[in-house]
Structure 1
């Protein structure tokens, strides 16, 4: 840390106070600990060499603090279960002005097929490329594919090659959907 004009807190030292140290015993500001002291390198080294965490503890207290599982015997908050008294925080307790938390868990209601056959995410994306509804059948799939190939193929649209990328997407979508379980 740079001294920013601070001098070492040790009496008689004119070196810059670059290193933070705890306040002296008994120096407190109301409720919390007192302000930090700023020491030069020589005096912070001296402070650290004198520091003893176990100073003032009995042998039993030292043994208790050094045992391998110290601190692990406390009970932690249980995961919230239905009917348990220890519930986690509610979403309403959080302020989410940018919709960062809720957007992650929001799901659009996906249209389902009337025959109950499942659609994967890739199936849905392919249906979107072809412009078909989720409950389209195999015949509707073939008709739409033929229509789009005629529209985008350079041989059918006067040699316009600007639509080739879309043609490739249509072909890939059709190939994927014709092998999908929903269209089998």
Structure 2
């Protein structure tokens, strides 16, 4: 197997190097390849990064050594930029604990299939409190989802749903099919948990 051709220049894989045939260093009088990018002047009417210049390794190192972030700032501006809490004084909106305190902004957009709105309504329904005021823990809510029960389900609905799922999933009731054993185990665990929950006492 032939060995790869060696490059004429050392450090050909130096971090940040971008080779381009025929591009020379932007520093006047320098004939080295311009392979390293450095910020140039700002573009007119554009509030963002300016044009870039391409320099050789030595000149980009010199540029970086002389770069001053605070160039052009007043003493007060420099002081403000160096404060440890700079930027934290901006007002921010408090987040709800469950992250579903209001519909996302994109819910105002056209949603002909109701995919976005339905997802948000389902999330809100899963987080709402019971009408009877009985508390629901996070584990209670998970168990209700496993059984496919609403937040306000009572003990009677709990027993009926459990019995229906056992008939549906148990191998003795579906021709010996054991493919649903994992789901059946989750249903049993959810039922056993909810039987002892405060909301179903």
Q: How big is the shift at 1:37?
A: 4.0
Q: How does 1:25-174 map to 2 (within 5 A)?
A: 35-45=51-61, 51=66, 53=68, 71-72=82-83, 76-79=89-92, 107-110=123-126, 112-174=129-191
Distance 1:178 1:15, change over 3 A: same
Gaps of 5+ in 1: 82-90
Comparing 69-78 with 107-116, which one deviates more in the overlay?
69-78
Q: How big is the shift at 1:181?
A: 0.9
Q: How big is the shift at 1:182?
A: 0.5
Deviations along 1:20-77, whole A, 9 cap, x unmatched?
4565xxx88656898544332344455566x385xx99xxx89x8998x863297833
Q: How big is the shift at 1:80?
A: 6.6
CA distance in 2, matches of 1:41, 1:115: 73
CA distance in 2, matches of 1:177, 1:48: 65
RMSD: 4.9
Distance 1:96 1:143, change over 3 A: closer
Distance 1:152 1:180, change over 3 A: same
Comparing 172-181 with 39-48, which one deviates more in the overlay?
39-48
Deviations along 1:76-101, whole A, 9 cap, x unmatched?
334579xxxxxxxxx869x9899xxx
TM-score (norm 2): 0.51
Q: How big is the shift at 1:18?
A: 1.9
For the pair shown, the structure with the greater C-alpha radius of gyration is: 1
Q: How big is the shift at 1:147?
A: 4.4
